[in-house]
Amino acid sequence: MINKEEIKKMADGILHPRKRKFVDNHIMHVEREWFLGVTIGLLLFILGGVWSFNSYQEYRMIDTKDSEIAIDSVIYKKELVDSVVDYFGKREEVYDNYLKKASVNGYQDLVIPIEDEFDNSIGATTTEGLPSSISVDEVEGDIDTPNMDSVIDGEILLPTNSF
Amino acid sequence: MRINNKTKYVFIISIVVVIVSASIFSFFLFFINKQGDRLEEKVSLLEENNKKEAAYRNITRTATETEEERLLLGRKFLKGNDDTIVFLSEIETLAPKFGLTFQTKALDGVVGKAGDQEAVKATFAYSGKKNSVLDFTKVMENLPYHSYIEALTLSEIEEGLWEGTITAFITTKSP
């Protein structure tokens, strides 16, 4: 027969069930440690693999680009050179025309017309209306002088106008 | 709790293996990084050399292509005293062809306005018929050299006889 004490215990057991506590008193767990070790090892292996793959990708296609920048950096002012060559060509032509005139004519009569392409600043191509005295300072050449300094002996020099 | 000898042994071996593995891993990491750096240095050096080579090729090509222009332009400068003497004698020979009496008034080696060019500063006086004087002036203005006229004076010294005084700068260049 169930006595009163036993009934109380049973009721207490139903109303206040005791939680079962899992208490592990072992410090080392071989399986856990191996699992941790292997996991860390795998992680290191995977990270190393990723890093290696990245490095491989980075250095796999190293291409030494034959840069165009270097080629573009060599400046040769062709237009300027051409204009200077043209300028001196015209100038030499005028010079030669006058020499021809001098050698052919001997300057007894002015027969050969000089085709002067340039309007000299002193304006002394005509003999009429010329004052009895002209003085000009700093007469530049009659042609719009290109910048010679940039093309002297093909060197690339600093731009300055004559003197 | 007691740890038995076998567990201790396994634990020590594991520690040793981890340390050795980490060391080898670190060594390879360091070694590969170092090699990578060296490779980058060499690649950049190679790029630089390629650029220099391209520039060299370009300059050589430009020099070859522009040889004619450079020679032509080089002749537009007086090179040294010899050229100056040749120029002067050329001018002095030229003046009589125009029927002029000619005189070199002054001749100096000067530095141009920009300070980086040397030039010959020459002052000439010439006299004769008006047309001769004017034409000779034009010749002086159009000398086949890199030159310019600094000053010019034209005057009629007597009836029909004109005199011109001209100061010209002719750029010189070391040969």
The per-residue pLDDT for A73 is: 59
Among B7, B52, B146, beta carbon nearest to A148: B146
Residue in chain A closest to B45 (alpha carbons) equals A64
Residue pLDDT, tens place only, B88-119: 998 998 888 888 899 999 888 887 666 667 88
State the count of interchain CB pairs (< 8 A) between A and B. Answer: 203
Residue pLDDT, tens place only, A145-161: 444 444 444 333 333 33
B residues 26..65 contacting A (CB < 8 A): 32, 36, 39, 43, 46-47, 50-52, 54-55, 58-59, 62-63
Any A CB within 8 A of B161 CB: no
Cβ atoms of residues B114 and B148 within 8 Å: no
The per-residue pLDDT for A46 is: 93
Give the global pTM.
Answer: 0.56
Across the range B1-8, mean pLDDT stands at 77
Residue in chain B closest to A94 (alpha carbons) equals B142
The per-residue pLDDT for A3 is: 81
Q: How confident is the model at residue B138 (pLDDT cuts 50, 70, 90)?
A: very high
Angstrom distances, CA of residue B2 to CA of A31, A32, A66, B5, B13: 18, 18, 71, 9, 19
The per-residue pLDDT for B33 is: 85
Sheet holding B118-128, edge to edge: A133-137, B147-158, B161-172, B118-128, B101-111
The per-residue pLDDT for A161 is: 37
Any A CB within 8 A of B150 CB: yes
Give ipTM to 2 decimals: 0.72
Helix H or strand E encompassing A137: strand A133-137
Write out chain A residues lying below 8 Å of B32, CB-based: 52, 55
Among A88, A118, A163, beta carbon nearest to B119: A163
Residue pLDDT, tens place only, B113-131: 666 678 889 999 999 989 8
Residue B137 C-alpha, separation from nearest chain A C-alpha, in angstroms? 9
The per-residue pLDDT for A141 is: 41
Contacts 24+ apart (CB under 8 A), A133-136: A133/B153, A133/B154, A133/B155, A133/B156, A134/B152, A134/B153, A134/B154, A134/B155, A135/B151, A135/B152, A135/B153, A135/B154, A135/B155, A136/B149, A136/B151, A136/B152, A136/B153
Running along chain A, 163 residues long, what does each successive block of 10 average in pLDDT?
79 73 68 87 90 81 58 73 91 90 66 42 39 49 45 37 37
Whether B98 and A107 lie within 8 Å, measured CB to CB? yes
Residue A22 C-alpha, separation from nearest chain B C-alpha, in angstroms? 18
Residue in chain A closest to B58 (alpha carbons) equals A71
Of B145 and A122, more confident: B145
Whether A85 and B97 lie within 8 Å, measured CB to CB? no
Whether A67 and B50 lie within 8 Å, measured CB to CB? yes
The per-residue pLDDT for B114 is: 64
Whether B132 and A85 lie within 8 Å, measured CB to CB? no
The per-residue pLDDT for A86 is: 92
SS3 category, B164: strand
Write out chain A residues lying below 8 Å of B144, CB-based: 88, 91-92, 95
Query: How far apart are the C-alpha atoms of A150 and A157, rounded to whole Å?
Result: 5
- Angle among Cα B124, B128, B129 to the nearest 5 degrees reads 135
The two three-digit tokens of residue B170, written as one number:
């002719």
Query: How far apart are the C-alpha atoms of B145 and B91, rounded to whole Å?
Result: 12
The per-residue pLDDT for B123 is: 94
Interface test with B, best of A47, A64, A79 (most B CBs within 10 A): A64
Helix H or strand E encompassing B141: helix B130-141
The per-residue pLDDT for A163 is: 36
Residue pLDDT, tens place only, B32-74: 889 888 988 998 899 899 988 988 888 888 889 889 988 888 8
